[in-house]
Amino acid sequence: MKLATLCYIQKDGKTLMLYRNKKENDYHEGKWNGLGGKFESGESPEECAIREIEEESGLKIKNIQMKGFITFPMFDGKEDWYVFVFVINKFEGRLIDSPEGQLEWIPNNKLKDLNLWDGDQIFIPWIFQNKFFSAKFNYKNGKFLDYTVEFY
């Protein structure tokens, strides 16, 4: 089982997205993602999100809000992934040249135009709602199958 975070930093009607095009053997290569990554030993979801955002973007987070939780059974064909989804709207610092890929501020109304995972097309609108979600997205061999969701 893998624990991870997925973070959407927002400002001025835009969201910071990462085009995955730098890492060798990257399962997400060619896709646009939020920032985030796997937990290190002993980290809370918030600590993981803050660390991953700084490593991937250079930004220091001042405010973090958990918006949801997603289960991805056998997402990579090897393990179940459990992902905490965050939205951030207060931060400081300047963007760095990310080791993960190309960072870009995308207008919120253009997010669904990006080359996203099929499931991301479904849940990204939820991060803009005033509800918490718990979802399960099923993939097989990289292909989206279906999902379930509860809103709170």
- Residue 97 class from Cβ within 10 Å (0-12 exposed, 13-18 middle, 19+ buried)? exposed
Query: Which amino acid does the sequence have at 127?
Result: I
User: How many whole angstroms separate alpha carbon 97 and alpha carbon 67?
Assistant: 27
Strand pairing report for 2-11 and 81-92:
parallel
CB of 9 within 8 A of CB of 95?
Answer: no
pLDDT along the chain (152 residues), means of 10: 97 96 78 96 97 97 96 92 97 94 96 95 97 97 95 98
Task: Tell me what pLDDT residue 55 has.
Answer: 96
CB of 32 within 8 A of CB of 105?
Answer: no
Task: Tell me what pLDDT residue 142 has.
Answer: 86
Reference 8, options 127, 129, 121; nearest CA is 127
Task: Tell me what pLDDT residue 30 has.
Answer: 86
User: How many whole angstroms separate alpha carbon 23 and alpha carbon 95?
Assistant: 18
Q: How do the domains of the chain map onto residue ranges?
A: 2-151
**CATH code at 2-151:** 3.90.79.10
